[in-house]
Homo-oligomer: A and B are copies of this chain.
Amino acid sequence: MKTQKISEAVVRRLPIYLRFLNELAMKNIMTVSSQDLGQKLDLNPAQIRKDLAYFGEFGKKGIGYDVSYLIEKIRQILKLDRHIQVALVGAGNLGRALCNYNTYLRNDMKIVAVFDAMPGKAGESINNLTVQPMHEMKQTITKLGVRIGIITVPAVEAQNVANQFVECGIEAILNFAPVIIKVPADVRVHHADFTTELQSLAYYLD
């Protein structure tokens, strides 16, 4: 009901629910229980019910959840019912790879601009987009209404890019560079660093 603060853990699970619900919808499955969901997603059914209950009563007692209704609701909660424009800085291998997910993201989110500081990169084309030089960032981001920024530059450049994003009024950042970046409290940052992920996996080897 949005009065209480929703924990980050809950918000991180919502896209996972959504993804699986979309799979069900494609298979023309109309209804799903928290039991089913929990089994497929390796989560406790009570947790799933509780997560959803933070936002409303989406299920029917004795029946379960209507798949397409729940999809609609989760998309609303995540604000994926609107178009959200994304910009990416760093047209290296990783940046290119992420741009190619554009089709995958359906309509909801879309990378609409790519920037790179290297003079040689500007003008290159990636999947319908043309790489732009950094000095065009402010203007392009304003014009296209970009709200989320992705950082795929080397670690030493990441903070600098983050600063520029903030300057442009970006509201949230997904940072792939292996470094903690600092931004004002009203800008949301998620870290998606492959190297730390891999290193923590090593711990679990025997």
**Footprint of B on A, CB under 8 Å?**
11-12, 14-16, 18-20, 40-42, 77-80, 84, 86, 92-94, 96-98, 100-101, 104-105, 108-109, 147-148, 150, 171-172, 174, 178-180, 182, 188, 190, 192, 194-206
Minimum CB distance partner of A192 in chain B = B197
Checking B77, B101, B188, B199 against A15 with a beta-carbon cut-off of 8 angstroms, the contacting residue is B199
Rounded to whole angstroms, the CA-CA distance of A14 and B203 in the bound complex is 10
Contacting residues, chain B, for A172 (C-beta < 8 A): 201-202, 204-205
B80 touches A196 (CB 8 A): no
Contacting residues, chain B, for A77 (C-beta < 8 A): 203
Identify 20 new A-B residue pairs, CB closer than 8 A, beyond the known A77-B203, A172-B201, A190-B200. A11-B200, A11-B204, A14-B200, A15-B195, A15-B199, A16-B196, A19-B178, A20-B180, A79-B203, A80-B199, A93-B96, A97-B97, A109-B202, A148-B201, A148-B202, A171-B206, A172-B204, A172-B205, A188-B201, A190-B201
